[in-house]
Amino acid sequence: MSVFASLPDQELEEATLRRLRRLVELESPSSDPVRLRALAGELAASLAGLGAEVDTVESEAGEHLVARLTGSDPLLEPILLLAHMDTVHAVGSFDPVFQVADGRASGPGTFDMKGGIACMLEAIARLRQAGSQPRRPVVVLITCDEEAGSGTSRQLIEDVAGGVHAVLVPEPPLPGGQAKTRRKGVSIYQIEVEGRASHAGLAPEKGVNAIVELAHQVLAITAMADPAAGTTTSVGVVGGGTISNVVPERAWAHVDVRFTSAAESGRVDRAMRSLRPVLQGTAVAVEGGVNRPPMELTVAGVDLYEEARAIAAAEGWELGQGLAGGASDGSFTAGMGVPTLDGIGPDGAGAHAAHEHVLIADLPRRVRLYSRLLEIL
C-alpha cells in the first residue's frame, strides 16, 4: 500500500483542488506565449519547491519545462511524466474562470490537462511529505504547444524520452476514467488542383474546371477509408474558384486521416501519393503525411497498464483501458517504442468544450495511483 493510503480523501482533494485552481486561473491558450510563460513560471516554482532541478527550454510558442527528481535508485532508467500546459480555450471563455460545484471542478483546461498536472504535482508532494521517494529518477516534461500540434516540442519530447523506462501521460481518460493504451495516429494532407480558367459563358470549352477535378479526388480519398481496420479519411476543408462566371483554375482540400497501425498509415500514404488527375488538362499535387504515429499495443505497454490496474484494484476501483481516436504527445513516445501509459488523468468530460470539468471525487485516487506508480515502477 502507498505510504499515505490512510490519508483522508478530503484532505488530498482540497490540496489538489488548490493546485488546480492556480493552474486554471493562469489561463494559457496555445497561441499566447506571454501567458504560457507566466504559467511556466508558476509550474517551475512548484516543481522546484518539490525538490526538482528545473530547466526551461525557450521556443517561439512559449517555454517548455524539463524538471528532474532523484530516485532512490539513481542508476535506473528514469520515468517520464509527460504533460502539456497549453489549452485550446481563448482567454475569458469561462466566467468564472474556475468553479467548484456539484462535485465538479470546471474551467479551461481542467480536464485537458491541468487536472492531470495538479494530481501529478500533488503525488510528488505527498511522497516527499511521507519521507518516501520515487524508485527511479523522474523527469517531468511539460510542453506548451501540444494543442497546436507540438511543432516546437516534438524534438525535445523525443530527446527526453530516449532512454527512459516508461512514460506516464496524465491526459484526459476515456469515458468512465479508462486509460488510453492505444491511440489512433493522424496524417494530414493538402491537395492542390490546377485546371484552366476561362469565361464560363463565352468560352467554357477552353476551361478545365479544377473544382470538378477536386470532386473526383475527394471521392477517391473517401474510398481509401477502411472502417473495419479502424482507418478513416475525412476531407475536412475545401476551397476553389474566384467568381461564378469563371471556370475555376484552382481548387484545394485539407484531409484528415486516422489509423490504428503503421501498416494502414503506409497504405493510405501510398494511395494519396498515387492520386492522378481524372480530367485531361488538370494537375493534382499532394503534400503532407504522418503528423502523429499510432500508439499500438505492445507487450511492455500492456505490462505497464497492468501495474496501474493492479494498484487501482488494490484500492477498490477499476482502471479500464481502451482505444482513443485522438493523438497526443504520448503517440510520439509510443512510436519510438517506449512503453507509454496515456489517458490516466482524472475523470471528467468536455475536453475542448464550454462544459469542460473534472470529477472532484476522482482526484484523490489519481494522486495515490501516481505516487504508488512512482514508488514501484
Q: Shortest approach of Zn ion to residue 156 CB, angstroms?
A: 17
The DSSP bridge partners found for residue 259 are 185
Q: Shortest approach of Zn ion to residue 155 CB, angstroms?
A: 19
C-alpha cell at 273: 501519393
Of 84 and 309, nearer to Zn ion (C-beta) is 84
Q: Shortest approach of Zn ion to residue 89 CB, angstroms?
A: 12
Q: Shortest approach of Zn ion to residue 207 CB, angstroms?
A: 46
Site string for Zn ion, 102-121 (x = CB under 5 A): ----------xx--------
CA atoms within 13 A on the CB side of 185: 26
Residues 266-325 that bind Zn ion (CB under 5 A): none
Q: Shortest approach of Zn ion to residue 88 CB, angstroms?
A: 9
Sorted by sequence, the CB contacts under 8 Å of residue 78 that are 6+ apart come out as 68, 71, 136, 137, 138, 139, 163, 164, 165
Asked if residues 140 and 64 have their Cβ atoms less than 8 Å apart, the reply is no
Please count the residues of this chain forming the interface with Zn ion, following the rule CB under 5 A.
3
Sorted by sequence, the CB contacts under 8 Å of residue 8 that are 6+ apart come out as none
Of 181 and 282, nearer to Zn ion (C-beta) is 181
Instruction: List the one residue out of 345, 364, 2, 355 whose CA is nearest residue 175.
Output: 345
Of 167 and 193, nearer to Zn ion (C-beta) is 167
Q: Which residue is nearest to Zn ion (CB)?
A: 112
Site string for Zn ion, 165-204 (x = CB under 5 A): ------x---------------------------------
Of 83 and 338, nearer to Zn ion (C-beta) is 83
CA atoms of 368 and 183, how far apart (whole Å): 25
Of 188 and 197, nearer to Zn ion (C-beta) is 188
Report the 10 Å Cβ neighbour count for 81: 26
The bridge status of strand 99-101 relative to strand 104-106 is antiparallel
Q: Shortest approach of Zn ion to residue 29 CB, angstroms?
A: 13
- Residues contributing to the site for Zn ion (CB under 5 A): 112-113, 171
